[in-house]
């Protein structure tokens, strides 16, 4: 048996040309003189070690693509099917009212101004239904006599689509 035959006899991985060439390139990158220094048996076993490490590393990632099929956690999904899944992100803006407009009527104390909580984000609603930002807390307190003051909350969600139809939503609402 020649050296090449001994290598193949001691290598236990896939023996396709591209697979074996890839393993040999990896070995040459790390140990350039391995082919000359090792026997066919030793080199074949080294190729088996590299092959095993590759497959164990790939399996630990939890997913791989082989011949147009994605393997994830023990399940197979055609890549063409997964390509039909898309997503979009959406921002949901909510305006939350702060207290009451103007003053608060306490049954014993009478009319008292409502307390303005701290925020860097005050808004009041315009006649056309849109909101305008007030950058100053003092200005927001002044406006609270005549307008309802709001804080703004922005939340982001991810919408998952299959062939353009919504199948799931993820995020904070």
46-79: pLDDT as tens digits: 999 999 998 888 777 777 787 888 888 778 889 9
Q: Contact at 8 Å (CB) between 147 and 125?
A: yes
Q: Which residues pair with 93 in a beta bridge?
A: 154
- Residue 53 CB partners (closer than 8 Å, separation 6+): none
The whole-angstrom distance between residue 121's C-alpha and the CA centroid of its chain comes to 29
Residue 2 has pLDDT above 80, yes or no: yes
Give residue 64's pLDDT.
Answer: 76
Give residue 33's pLDDT.
Answer: 95
Tell me 58's DSSP state: H
Residue 7: strand, helix, or coil: helix
**Model pTM?**
0.43
Binned at pLDDT 50, 70 and 90, residue 164 comes out as very high
Give residue 78's pLDDT.
Answer: 92
- Residue 56 CB partners (closer than 8 Å, separation 6+): none
122-135 pLDDT per residue, tens: 899 999 999 999 98
The residue among 151 and 49 whose pLDDT is bigger is: 49
71-119 pLDDT per residue, tens: 887 788 899 998 999 999 999 888 888 865 455 555 666 665 556 666 6
Q: Distance between CA 72 and CA 83 in Å, rounded?
A: 15
């Amino acid at each position: 048996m020649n050296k090449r035959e001994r290598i193949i006899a001691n290598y236990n991985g896939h023996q396709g040309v591209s697979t074996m060439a890839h393993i040999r390139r990896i070995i040459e990158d790390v140990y350039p003189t391995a082919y000359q220094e090792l026997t066919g048996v030793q080199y074949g076993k080294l190729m088996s070690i590299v092959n095993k490490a590759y497959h164990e590393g790939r399996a630990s990632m939890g997913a791989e693509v082989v011949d147009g099929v994605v393997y994830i956690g023990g399940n197979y999904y055609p890549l063409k099917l997964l390509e039909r899944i898309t997503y979009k992100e959406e921002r949901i803006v909510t305006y939350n009212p702060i207290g009451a407009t103007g003053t608060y009527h306490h049954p014993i104390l009478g009319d008292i101004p409502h307390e303005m909580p701290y925020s860097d984000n005050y808004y009041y609603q315009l006649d056309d239904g849109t909101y305008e930002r007030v950058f100053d807390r003092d200005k927001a307190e002044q406006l609270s006599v005549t307008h309802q003051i709001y804080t703004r909350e922005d939340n982001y969600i991810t919408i998952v689509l299959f062939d353009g139809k919504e199948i799931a939503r993820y995020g904070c609402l």
